[in-house]
């Protein structure tokens, strides 16, 4: 199944890459919203869901643009056909295609395809995490003050939900640096491969993080909600680290 996920992500990635930089229609998901969608998000998702419906017609699907297909299966495919749509729409080459596969509520494998760098991040439960077939692991830093962190802001950030802006300011002061890349799936991969020491965000959706959570766990890191409970893809607040700075980061997020 991992091979299928890799192949369909490559195919969806090709659609995204070919659409990048061309004249594309940008829609607002809701009026006055910051949340965008393009025809490329939809085309990428259609390629993925068509494949699943043909090869695994009895499986459940949860996909960002087309919603839920419930066949009462033990398998659930969780799909973000283009993570980083705002970057994509503005010509910034930081975005991904990501697919996670769950069996009875546990993620058993997943991929994040970094489209413009042509890097395929893959993980299987119990089998480690890889970038283009090379094993990856989290870094060893154990001091928040020396940490290189990454975060994201939800589309309703102007309401400062959960004091997110205040936490951001505090963590900018407490760490070495904080980045905001615009693709939660890639943020998680860059913790898994040791670039970042930690990532946090509120109001994430299951498709943003299903594969990325498994990648971090399989790379030796830790992913919890802000209370320190083990993460499930339906908890919107995520704290993901190398494990070593986890408690220190949680102190700021609690
Ligand atoms: C978004 C990105 C972004 C995060 C937002 C997500 P989208 O996903 O992952 O980094 O800050 O919360 O919604 O809309 O580009 O698929
Ligand atoms: Ca997303
Ligand atoms: Ca998306």
Distance (Å, whole) CA 128 – CA 75: 21
CA 153 – ligand 1 centroid, Å: 8
Specify the pTM: 0.96
Closest-approaching ligand to the CA atom of 201: 1
Domains 2-136 and 144-253 share a fold: no
Closest-approaching ligand to the CA atom of 45: 3
Beta carbons of 201 and 179 less than 8 angstroms apart: no
Distance (Å, whole) CA 142 – CA 146: 8
Assign domain 144-253 to its CATH architecture: 3-Layer(aba) Sandwich (3.40)
Beta carbons of 62 and 76 less than 8 angstroms apart: yes
Distance (Å, whole) CA 204 – CA 237: 7
Q: How far is CA 10 from CA 5, 57, 101, 148, in A?
A: 9, 21, 16, 30
CA 204 – ligand 3 centroid, Å: 11
- Atom of ligand 1 at shortest range from CA of 187: 10
From 92, 184, 199, give the residue whose CB has the most ligand 1 atoms within 8 Å, as the site to mutate: 184
Beta carbons of 233 and 78 less than 8 angstroms apart: yes
How many helices (H) and strands (E) in the chain? 7, 15
Beta carbons of 187 and 181 less than 8 angstroms apart: yes
Which CATH superfamily includes the segment(s) 2-136?
A: Fructose-1,6-Bisphosphatase, subunit A, domain 1 (3.30.540.10)
**Domain extents in the chain:** 2-136, 144-253
DSSP helix/strand/coil, 212: helix
- Please enumerate, as own/partner, the contacts of 100-103 that have beta carbons within 8 Å and a separation of 24 or more: 100/207, 100/210, 100/211, 100/213, 100/214, 100/233, 101/1, 101/5, 101/75, 101/76, 101/77, 102/75, 102/76, 102/77, 102/78, 102/210, 102/233, 103/74, 103/75, 103/76
Within 6 A (CB) of ligand 1 lie: 80, 83-86, 152-154, 182-184, 201, 204, 208
Q: What is the pLDDT along the chain (254 residues), one digit of tens a residue?
A: 999 999 999 999 999 999 998 878 888 887 667 888 899 999 999 999 999 999 999 999 999 999 999 999 999 999 999 999 999 999 999 999 999 999 999 999 999 999 999 999 999 999 999 999 999 999 999 999 999 999 999 888 888 888 899 999 999 999 999 999 999 999 999 999 999 999 999 999 999 999 999 999 999 999 999 999 999 999 999 999 999 999 999 999 99
DSSP helix/strand/coil, 146: helix
Closest-approaching ligand to the CA atom of 29: 1
């Amino acid at each position: 199944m991992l091979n299928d996920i890799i192949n369909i992500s490559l195919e969806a990635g090709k659609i995204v890459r070919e659409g990048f930089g061309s004249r594309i229609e940008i829609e607002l998901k809701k009026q006055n919203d910051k949340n965008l969608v393009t025809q490329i998000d939809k085309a990428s998702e259609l390629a993925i869901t068509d494949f699943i419906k043909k090869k695994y017609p009895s499986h459940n699907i949860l996909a960002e643009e087309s919603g839920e297909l419930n066949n009462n299966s033990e398998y659930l495919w969780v799909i973000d056909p283009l993570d980083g749509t705002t970057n994509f729409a503005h010509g910034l080459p930081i975005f991904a295609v990501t697919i996670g596969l769950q069996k009875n509520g546990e993620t058993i494998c997943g991929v994040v395809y970094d489209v413009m760098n042509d890097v395929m991040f893959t993980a299987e439960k119990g089998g480690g995490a890889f970038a283009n077939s090379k094993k990856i692991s989290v870094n060893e830093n154990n001091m928040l003050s020396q940490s290189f962190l990454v975060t994201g802001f939800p589309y309703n950030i102007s309401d400062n939900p959960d004091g997110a802006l205040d936490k951001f300011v505090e963590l900018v002061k407490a760490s070495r640096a904080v980045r905001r890349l615009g693709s939660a799936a890639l943020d998680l991969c860059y913790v898994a491969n040791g670039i970042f020491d930690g990532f946090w965000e509120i109001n994430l959706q299951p498709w943003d993080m299903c594969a990325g959570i498994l990648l971090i766990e399989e790379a030796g890191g830790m992913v919890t909600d802000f209370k320190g409970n083990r993460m499930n893809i339906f908890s919107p607040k995520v704290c993901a680290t190398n494990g070593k700075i986890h408690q220190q980061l949680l102190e700021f997020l609690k």
